[in-house]
């Protein structure tokens, strides 16, 4: 099986979709697939490439000119299948990628290549002012033109199921961060290095800040919790979404207004083993997503894999009755759940966890058990089964 991934971001660019694509590509190559990755010139081509995995950092800018580069790479690589790892911001909110399946129609008929898309989010693109329903129409047009569509979670599957697609399935993502800390790691020493006193709780947050992740709610909750500090783990804005910088500025203003500068620490982008060390040093990981906890969030998957005591948010109004094999998040079993956009309720949930080491241990163990369902090898096997179904 020859598979060409198309992704707007890829390491060393900072971004969860790029990291996820890297993990899937490596896992598929380990299973014997011949994998190529066509991505941005901002990604860094590895010095040594696997015979099973080739990286093509060729796209200068995601616009109409990128279609020519894509067609040329298809001709050279000759894949059986093109797999688009889709996130609107990673493709610069430009409509070109939405028209790719149709623009490849003649090429597809000649060589038999199929097109699969994984929706990492369902945001519609910016087209022009007052585009209105055209923005939603082009997303439907894009999805219907593909031979198969993958949702990473039940909520997105439910939304996509209304589009009458050729083939729709759920394949989750896993954690992009290994769980191996630095050599000679000692939790007490690490916490001391961070300036955490014996009578203080260390909260952590992981990932970029944007409108959907509840950063302001987190800061307002922190202000209500005595003897607690907050460690913001990872890069602050990422490589793809320009709106993140404006939201980060709002969160930092909230920190200043509430006079919390001495209680909030920032690591910025660090190697994976440092991320792991910080996860292990924290007492509680707080992820207050505004749209509720979802398995499409790589940050949640990383916290689960590390067995963190997670405080996160409920899905506001579950509409989906999708029957899948994905485990459920249950309050008090593998996480603590609070309503979105509610600093007081979030603070109460955090304080409940701070007060009970037994509760933290129980939900941390439950989180680790949930993470066992999301290994990259299992995810790669699910991809290959889908590829074989549509190619054959």
For 252-265, how does the pLDDT look when each residue is reduced to its tens digit (9 = 90+)? 999 999 999 999 99
Give the Cα separation of 297 and 16 in Å (integer).
Answer: 8
Residue 186: what pLDDT? Answer: 97
pTM: 0.88
Residue 340: what pLDDT? Answer: 95
Closest CA to 19 of 272, 237, 241: 272
Residue 319: what pLDDT? Answer: 56
Give the Cα separation of 161 and 153 in Å (integer).
Answer: 12
Question: What secondary structure letter does DSSP report for 228?
Answer: E
Residue 236: what pLDDT? Answer: 73
Residue 300: what pLDDT? Answer: 97
Which tokens belong to 25?
A: 């590509």
Residue 338: what pLDDT? Answer: 97
Residue 322 near residue 386, CB atoms below 8 Å:
no
Residues 6+ apart with CB under 8 A from 361: 309
Closest CA to 72 of 145, 6, 138: 6
> Which residues sit opposite 201 in a β-bridge?
228
In three-state secondary structure terms, 83 is: strand
Residues 6+ apart with CB under 8 A from 100: 6, 67, 70, 84, 115
Q: Where are the domains of the chain?
A: 2-174+375-391, 187-374
**Greatest Cα-to-Cα distance within the chain, rounded to the nearest angstrom:** 68
CB atoms within 10 A of CB 162: 8
Which tokens belong to 178?
A: 């290994």
Give the Cα separation of 108 and 129 in Å (integer).
Answer: 34
Residue 134: what pLDDT? Answer: 67
Residue 322: what pLDDT? Answer: 60
Residue 108: what pLDDT? Answer: 52
Residue 92: what pLDDT? Answer: 76
- Provide the residue-wise pLDDT of the chain in tens; the chain has 392 residues: 999 999 999 998 888 899 999 999 999 999 999 999 999 999 876 655 678 999 999 999 988 899 889 989 998 999 999 999 998 888 877 778 877 877 766 555 555 689 999 999 887 655 555 556 666 777 888 889 899 999 999 889 988 998 889 899 999 999 999 999 999 999 999 999 999 999 999 999 998 888 889 999 999 999 999 999 999 998 877 655 667 788 889 999 999 999 999 999 999 889 999 999 999 999 999 999 998 999 999 999 999 999 999 999 998 665 555 666 789 999 999 999 999 999 999 999 999 999 999 999 999 999 999 999 999 999 999 999 999 999 88
Place of tokens 């093109």: 82
Place of tokens 């630095």: 182
Residue 208: what pLDDT? Answer: 84
Residue 281 near residue 202, CB atoms below 8 Å:
yes
Indicate the CATH number of 187-374 among 3.40.50.2000, 3.40.250.10, 3.40.50.620, 3.40.640.10: 3.40.50.2000
The CA distances from residue 173 to 157, 322, 375, 382, in Å, are 14, 18, 8, 11
**Cα 124-127-132 angle, rounded to 5 deg:** 70
Q: β-pairing, 310-313 with 81-86?
A: unpaired
Residue 283: what pLDDT? Answer: 98
**List of E strands, the chain:** 2-7, 34-40, 53-59, 81-86, 114-119, 148-151, 168-170, 201-206, 228-233, 264-268, 284-287, 310-313, 336-338
Do the two domains 2-174+375-391 and 187-374 of this chain adopt the same fold?
yes
Give the Cα separation of 173 and 24 in Å (integer).
Answer: 9
Length of the chain: 392
Give the Cα separation of 24 and 391 in Å (integer).
Answer: 19
Give the Cα separation of 344 and 352 in Å (integer).
Answer: 12
Residue 268: what pLDDT? Answer: 86
**What's the CATH number for 2-174+375-391?**
3.40.50.2000
CA atoms within 13 A on the CB side of 228: 23
Closest CA to 151 of 136, 124, 167, 172: 172
């Amino acid at each position: 099986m020859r598979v060409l991934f198309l992704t707007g971001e890829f390491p060393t660019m900072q971004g969860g979709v790029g990291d996820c694509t890297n993990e899937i590509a490596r896992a598929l190559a380990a299973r014997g697939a011949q994998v190529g990755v066509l991505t941005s010139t901002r990604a860094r081509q590895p010095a040594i490439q696997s015979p099973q995995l080739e990286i093509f950092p060729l796209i200068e800018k995601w616009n109409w000119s990128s279609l020519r580069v894509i067609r040329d790479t298809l001709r050279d690589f000759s894949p059986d299948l093109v797999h688009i790892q889709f996130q609107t911001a990673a493709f610069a909110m430009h409509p070109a990628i939405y028209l790719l399946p149709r623009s490849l129609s003649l090429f597809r008929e000649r060589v038999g290549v199929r097109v699969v898309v994984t929706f990492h989010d369902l945001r519609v693109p910016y087209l022009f002012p007052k585009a209105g329903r055209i923005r939603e129409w082009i997303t439907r047009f894009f999805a219907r033109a593909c031979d198969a569509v993958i949702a990473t979670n039940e909520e997105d599957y439910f939304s996509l199921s209304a589009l009458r697609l050729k083939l729709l399935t759920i394949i989750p993502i896993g954690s992009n961060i290994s769980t191996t800390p630095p050599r000679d790691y000692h939790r007490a020493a690490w916490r001391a290095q961070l300036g955490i006193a014996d009578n203080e709780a260390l909260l952590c947050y992981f990932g970029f800040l944007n409108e959907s992740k509840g950063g302001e709610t987190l800061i307002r909750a922190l202000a209500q919790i005595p003897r607690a500090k907050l460690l913001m783990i990872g890069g602050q804005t990422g490589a793809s979404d320009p709106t993140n910088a404006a939201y980060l500025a709002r969160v930092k203003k909230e920190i200043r207004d509430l006079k919390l500068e001495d209680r909030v620490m920032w690591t910025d982008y660090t190697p994976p083993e440092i991320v792991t060390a910080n996860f292990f040093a924290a007492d509680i990981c707080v992820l207050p997503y505004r749209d509720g906890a979802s398995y499409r969030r790589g940050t949640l998957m990383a916290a689960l894999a590390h067995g963190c005591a997670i405080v996160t948010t409920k899905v506001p109004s579950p509409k989906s009755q999708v029957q899948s094999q994905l485990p459920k998040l249950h309050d008090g079993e593998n996480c603590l759940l609070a309503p979105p956009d509610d600093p007081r309720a979030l603070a109460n949930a955090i304080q409940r966890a701070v007060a009970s080491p037994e509760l933290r241990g129980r939900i941390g163990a439950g989180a680790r058990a949930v993470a066992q369902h999301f290994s990259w090898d299992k995810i790669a096997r699910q991809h290959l089964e889908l590829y074989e179904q549509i190619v054959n």
